[in-house]
Structure 1
Amino acid sequence: MSSLLEVSGVSVSFDGFKAINNLSFQIGARELRAVIGPNGAGKTTFMDIVTGKTRPDSGRVTYGTKAVSLLSMSESRIAQAGIGRKFQRPTVFEDQSVRANLTMALKGDRGPFAVLFSRTTRAQAERVADLAAEIGLSGTLDRKAGELSHGQKQWLEIGMLLAQDPQLLLVDEPAAGMTPAEREHTTDLLVEAAKTRAVVVVEHDMEFVRRLNCRVTVLHEGSVLAEGSIDHVTSNDKVIEVYLGR
């Protein structure tokens, strides 16, 4: 399987502390991957590097079939190239309807003014309806986003990212603060999304990771400690020692 994203020998230090230490990581074009590790393992810094927020001191980060370097690209260029990121706290337009949030997010010139002052085409309306169905919010299209539950806001934000049709989706701790039913729906949503794009899920909740039923990468002190199925990594002595606790 050819890689969509390849991180090779990447290191970055902050005030002498090596946050990422000779990290290598790759993911295929239609793959779901969970990234786990203790606090300070480098999970957030890894995402910051891929999205252009942090520049590494050394190493390579290439993306796409032509293996273009992400290191010379701005954050906005990286987003336009098809890399979407969902942060832990949902950021949606609370005063706007679910429909307006999804419409604004559609690929193309859909900034707030474009949405307010232009008519939505039939194709756009259909795409919004499809996205709402995919994320499980069809019944809430005309509600204000601020009225949604925490879990529903998370789904709306995932829907807004999917509206931009990214080829790589980075999702930070999606299960945090969710009810068991919401977590189950989130699992289904991410598994479905990974059928058409690469999805990297950074998560602490091991039960949630187990339900994703995907390859797991364990980070520790800024590099890969173990990789494989959830059963493989959770039976690894080093992983047990540094992460799961004896």
Structure 2
Amino acid sequence: MTLLEVDGISVTFDGFRAINSLSLSMGEPELRAIIGPNGAGKTTFMDIVTGKTRPDSGRVVWGEDNRDLIGMSESAIARAGIGRKFQKPTVFEDQTVRENLAMALKARRDPFRVLFRRADNAGRIAELADEISLADHLMRKAGELSHGQKQWLEIGMLLAQEPRLLLVDEPAAGMTPAERGHTADLLKRLAKTRAVIVVEHDMEFVRRLDCKVTVLHEGRVLAEGSLDHVTKNRDVIDVYLGR
């Protein structure tokens, strides 16, 4: 099913058109990589989807009820099921991995379950830590983790909010080759049960994701398809790969 549909959005900043009648759709579950040169509109696209930036025109349609996200607050969009991970990890470095995950867990509103929250949260924390390969590091302070492990912890903190769509910005940056491989495998596993959009410049990392690729240029879709397909596109070579 279609989970997210961006329909004809445009936005201009001080005379510069950052997004130019951009349209794309995202299924659930699905893994998608978005690539493109600097200034192509990748970050602005994520800003619009998450409510940080309001476009001049167009719609961002979400979920089964075809809700338009335009005009909704960032917090309301997050509660609707959209999580975003920025390039630089933002974890609580003086707190343990367990404490970071506990703080991120989605608050339960059912009064009957309040009595069981502590035990229930402990089980969920263990599941999250296992999913992000930090089960052996629960009692370590986040500040002691490697860069890649901090990235995984932040992904785990987003997963605690139970998002249906996860937006991930350049996850491979600054990682060791082993960490990049593990991160690609993690994102592929996550995309089996939810929608995941990855913005990335590392072509080897994108190749490892083995997913549909959308190429942005000047705020619109230039090409779309497998990585092999888009990298053979003459326009993509001219404006991006040839640089």
The normalised TM-score by structure 1 is: 0.95
1:225 aligned to 2:222? yes
User: In the alignment, what sits opposite 2:112?
Assistant: none
The answer (yes or no) to whether the contact 2:172–2:200 under 8 Å persists in 1 is yes
Trace 1:34-183 onto structure 2 (pairs within 5 A).
34-108=33-107, 121-183=118-180
- After TM superposition, give the deviation of residue 29 of structure 1 in Å: 1.1
- After TM superposition, give the deviation of residue 123 of structure 1 in Å: 1.4
Return the alpha-carbon distance in structure 1 between the equivalents of residues 36 and 63 of structure 2: 26
- After TM superposition, give the deviation of residue 62 of structure 1 in Å: 0.6
User: In the alignment, what sits opposite 1:242?
Assistant: 239
Equivalent of residue 196 in structure 2, options 194, 199, 208: 199
Misfit runs of 4+, over 3 Å: none
1:21 aligned to 2:20? yes
Which residue identity does 2:42 align to in structure 1?
K
User: In the alignment, what sits opposite 1:216?
Assistant: 213
Q: Compared with structure 1, are the counterparts of its residues 133 and 64 closer, same or farther at alpha carbon in structure 2 (3 Å cutoff)? A: same
Return the alpha-carbon distance in structure 1 between the equivalents of residues 117 and 64 of structure 2: 33
What secondary structure is seen at the aligned counterpart in 1 of 2:3?
strand
CA shift digits 1:141-198 (9 cap, x unpaired): 0000011000000000000000110000000000000000000110111001101110
User: In the alignment, what sits opposite 2:5?
Assistant: 6
Q: Number of paired residues?
A: 238
What secondary structure is seen at the aligned counterpart in 2 of 1:33?
strand
CA shift digits 1:40-69 (9 cap, x unpaired): 000000000000000000011110011100
- After TM superposition, give the deviation of residue 81 of structure 1 in Å: 0.4
Which residue identity does 1:94 align to in structure 2?
E
- After TM superposition, give the deviation of residue 122 of structure 1 in Å: 1.5
The answer (yes or no) to whether the contact 2:54–2:71 under 8 Å persists in 1 is no
Which residue identity does 1:148 align to in structure 2?
L
Return the alpha-carbon distance in structure 2 between the equivalents of residues 227 and 65 of structure 1: 25
CA shift digits 1:3-28 (9 cap, x unpaired): 10000110000000000000001000
Return the alpha-carbon distance in structure 1 between the equivalents of residues 117 and 143 of structure 2: 22
Return the alpha-carbon distance in structure 1 between the equivalents of residues 10 and 47 of structure 2: 13
Return the alpha-carbon distance in structure 2 between the equivalents of residues 66 and 142 of structure 1: 42
Which residue identity does 1:202 align to in structure 2?
V
Return the alpha-carbon distance in structure 1 between the equivalents of residues 25 and 107 of structure 2: 29
Which residue identity does 2:146 align to in structure 1?
S
User: In the alignment, what sits opposite 2:31?
Assistant: 32
Which residue identity does 1:66 align to in structure 2?
D
What secondary structure is seen at the aligned counterpart in 2 of 1:121?
helix
Stretches of structure 2 lacking an aligned partner (at least 5 in a row) = 110-114
Return the alpha-carbon distance in structure 1 between the equivalents of residues 108 and 116 of structure 2: 13
- After TM superposition, give the deviation of residue 119 of structure 1 in Å: 9.3
Which residue identity does 1:60 align to in structure 2?
R
Stretches of structure 1 lacking an aligned partner (at least 5 in a row) = 111-117
Return the alpha-carbon distance in structure 1 between the equivalents of residues 136 and 209 of structure 2: 26
Return the alpha-carbon distance in structure 1 between the equivalents of residues 82 and 120 of structure 2: 23
Return the alpha-carbon distance in structure 2 between the equivalents of residues 45 and 235 of structure 1: 26
Which residue identity does 1:204 align to in structure 2?
H
Give % identity. Answer: 74
